[in-house]
A and B are shown apart, each in its own frame.
Chain A
Amino acid sequence: NAGVMQNPRHLVRRRGQEARLRCSPMKGHSHVYWYRQLPEEGLKFMVYLQKENIIDESGMPKERFSAEFPKEGPSILRIQQVVRGDSAAYFCASSLRLAGNEQFFGPGTRLTVL
């Protein structure tokens, strides 16, 4: 009964490169949330997706960031032309369809931009 999986766990990119972060939700979970944690800060919501749909992207920067959750495969958070300020830990959480259910967190991906 695998939990939420994220890969890679650590990602190093140079400024201007692209970063792709993957999240495989728990089995049976159709809701995925992405959060970002800057150093010494709490987690901040970025985007909420269901299969093939973006439900709420109010926390995601309008430029350079995009997210998807295809019918098959993991959810992807993509950051284009990374800058130093993108260095952070990115967490994915998943939940069941029913309202009120827990969000289970993955181990996070730590992105470092050189």
Chain B
Amino acid sequence: AQTVTQSQPEMSVQEAETVTLSCTYDTSESDYYLFWYKQPPSRQMILVIRQEAYKQQNATENRFSVNFQKAAKSFSLKISDSQLGDAAMYFCAYRSEGNTPLVFGKGTRLSVIA
């Protein structure tokens, strides 16, 4: 079974600075998808960014980018120019090919300091 590990329970960053959240996963599959979700205090799950495993190019979405290292099974999230609204729980998630459920890590709580 696939597993997702987020080794940083909590992180903090100064406003306007850059922070990187770590995620590693374990799988024997070659085709899969990786995601970062943001969960603010409202508890709504918001998709931040996704990466298809077959794509070598790292995904970017405005201030959010990933460092996808397939051989190392690593998928870190970089948030640039951090804003107060970025404060939330961040979950890394894995999904196999097909209509399959997501496997989540335990999350990293990000605080942004003004």
A-to-B contact residues, CB < 8 Å: 31, 33, 35, 41-45, 48, 55-56, 59, 89, 91, 93, 95, 97, 99-103, 105, 107-108, 110
Partner of B99 from the list A45, A95, A110 (CB cut-off 8 Å) is A95
Known: A43-B104, A103-B102. 14 other contacts (CB 8 A): A33-B102, A35-B102, A42-B4, A42-B91, A44-B104, A91-B45, A99-B97, A100-B33, A103-B95, A105-B45, A107-B42, A107-B43, A107-B44, A108-B43
14 contacts between A and B (CB under 8 A): A35-B101, A35-B102, A41-B107, A42-B104, A42-B107, A43-B91, A45-B103, A48-B101, A91-B45, A93-B45, A99-B98, A99-B99, A100-B33, A108-B44
Say whether A105 contacts B99, CB under 8 Å.
no
B106 interface residue per 8 A CB criterion:
yes
Interchain CA distance A73-B4 in the complex, whole Å = 34
Q: Is the CB of A105 within 8 A of B103?
A: no
Closest Cβ neighbor of B95 among chain A residues? A103
Chain B residue with Cβ nearest A55: B99
Q: Is the CB of B47 closer than 8 A to any CB of chain A? A: yes
B contact residues, total (Cβ < 8 Å) = 22
**Nearest CB of A to B1, in Å:** 10
**Chain B residues at the A interface, C-beta cutoff of 8 Å:** 4, 33, 42-45, 47, 50, 52, 91, 95, 97-107
Which 3 pairs of residues, A with B, have the shortest CB-CB distance? A42-B104, A45-B101, A105-B45
Distance in angstroms from A114 CB to nearest chain B CB is 20
Across the two chains, which residue of chain B brings its CB closest to A37? B43
